[in-house]
Amino acid sequence: MTSIAWRGAWALAAWLVLGLLAGCAGQPVPREHGLALRDAEIRSTWLGQWSRQAAADHAGLSGFALLAKGEEAFALRANLAEQASKRLDVQTYLLGEGQTVQVLLHRMIGAAQRGVEVRLLLDDLTASGQGDQLAALDSHPNIQVRVFNPWPLGREHLVSRVLLSLPALARQHRRMHNKTWIVDNAVAITGGRNLGDEYFNASEPRNFADVDLLAVGGVVDALSLSFDLYWNHFLSQPLARYHTAAPEAWRDLAATLARQLAEQRDSDSPYFVALRARYGAAAEDKLFSELHWAPGQALWDPPGKVAGRERSPLKRTLFGALLDQLPELESRLVIVSAYFVPAERGTALLTRLAESGIRVEVITNSLEATDLSLVHGAYAGRRRALLESGVRLHELRGRQQRGEEAEIGIPGTSISSLHSKAVSFDDDLVFIGSFNADPRSVIWNTEVGVLVESEPLVAEFLEFAEAGMTPSLSYLPGLDGEGRLYWLTELDERLVRLDREPGSLKQRLGSWFSRLLGLEIWL
């Protein structure tokens, strides 16, 4: 046998061994299925009573508030955790690090100490390297941590986790991208934000412009149902199958978090000083005072979308359900997507709309601003066709001039990036959730969001979007008379034209590499 054949045989044997290990690894842990709270339980909570009182004069409608500022989105999550009486359900793709995460974890433990049942559901890929902390959290008798679409090998580091999951790549590249924060089945938050400093404007040097939706009323029941479906799915496994801690490990974690928060107070963290100045004196229910009451529908992908090797039929996905709910457009379509990859069919659709007289506007990241240049490369390959048809593109700049960032909720940082995922249809319909306008959200990942019919909410969303469209915050790509690309932007209060796309050499290479390999369908 040749050396090449031997290497092939060894590689095949290694894959088989890894597959066997994957089937055997982990500890058997009994799974307790959880369901949403009953009406009587909800009515017994402070938030349940408040939400029902607020909805009393709005029969059949739900209440919504747009959360476009990271500080507000963080403060609201922290306050809701503090007000929880029965149940705190948290579903997220990513649990990061930093001062805001320390606060939220501390609030989760505090809620558990009051007898609140806390359920934390994470995508397994992003839980890599966090086994000790998550196991300590899970050791509290009132806290359960589960990971979605788990893989038992290489969990200590993201790189080893990815490499050792290659034998199951057909499923392991699919992820749970959902984000929900549900308290007492009475109040819910969903949208684009993961849990991490950069999503709450607390990071240096980079922060994300993002948007969430607060909901009360009937739509919360549907979001709670979506959480339960994921929590009880066979792809959602107890963390204790892979990581365990001593029964009282949560006490050490709580003490560590308390010490870290005390250090923040002693050092007068600028973020928390500003936060206390803005929200500290507010009444506990102040952040709920302005709600838009309107019809709303929660939409989500079934958790089994991740399980199969084949693509799910479009009609069984969130995107298919969203298309079924949409009326025929009359005047305007606004897409805000951090990762915008329209692909061939999406480009054809947007082109037809623009050529029919619909005002089509897209806000996405510039090459300079994106954290995934491979994704930008796939978008850039469609940019010329979109511009030729009349689609208006706006690419958020990576560096903002001081004082401008607050317009889209990014205060005081030198580097910014878009992370929002929302679409408005004409002047009365908006969809806000975790769904990017890309093949990965349509085909591979699971997502969640809420479709709301409300002119006031759409007007508020468009104010947020239009701030990001201005040349003081974005590059406006266009085509000159000879078909060459250029970018308009405002620098030092002067409109300037750039004939070369702003971005680093590394970013340019990543974008070019993406187009070269034809990665569009995977992004």
* φ and ψ at residue 332, rounded to 5 degrees: -150, 140
Whole-angstrom distance, CA of residue 134 vs CA of residue 241: 12
* Separation of CA 22 from chain center: 29
130: Cβ contacts below 8 Å, ≥ 6 apart: 95
211 forms bridges with which residues in the sheet? none
* Separation of CA 411 from chain center: 20
Neighbours of 386 (CB within 10 A): 22
E strands along 69-209, which residues?
Answer: 87-92, 117-123, 143-148, 180-183, 187-191, 206-209
Active-site choice (124, 371, 419, 438): 419
Exposed/middle/buried for residue 26 (C-beta within 10 Å: 0-12, 13-18, 19+): middle
Is residue 191 within 8 A of residue 72, CB to CB? The reply is no
* Largest interatomic CA distance in the chain: 80
Active-site choice (69, 86, 106, 179): 179
Report CA-CA distances (Å) from 211 to 150, 193, 413.
28, 7, 18
Question: Is position 89 annotated as part of the catalytic site?
Answer: no
For residue 512 the two structure tokens come to: 């070019």
Residue 284 is classified by DSSP as T
Report CA-CA distances (Å) from 393 to 47, 68, 349, 360, 365.
42, 21, 15, 9, 10
Exposed/middle/buried for residue 77 (C-beta within 10 Å: 0-12, 13-18, 19+): buried
Neighbours of 522 (CB within 10 A): 17
Question: Is position 157 annotated as part of the catalytic site?
Answer: no
Is residue 62 within 8 A of residue 215, CB to CB? The reply is yes
Question: Is position 292 annotated as part of the catalytic site?
Answer: no
Whole-angstrom distance, CA of residue 314 vs CA of residue 311: 8
Residue in 373, 339, 353 with CA at minimum distance from that of residue 442: 339
Active-site choice (124, 197, 212, 426): 426
| H or E, element range at 485 | strand 485-491
Neighbours of 392 (CB within 10 A): 17
Question: Is position 86 annotated as part of the catalytic site?
Answer: no
Active-site choice (69, 233, 376, 421): 421
Neighbours of 523 (CB within 10 A): 20
Active-site choice (69, 140, 177, 292): 177
Size (the chain), residues: 523
For residue 314 the two structure tokens come to: 């479009």
| Residue 273 identity (one-letter amino acid) | V
Active-site choice (123, 184, 197, 371): 184
Task: Say which residue the tokens 């929660």 belong to.
Answer: 298
Question: Is position 286 annotated as part of the catalytic site?
Answer: no
The set of catalytic residues is: 177, 179, 184, 419, 421, 426
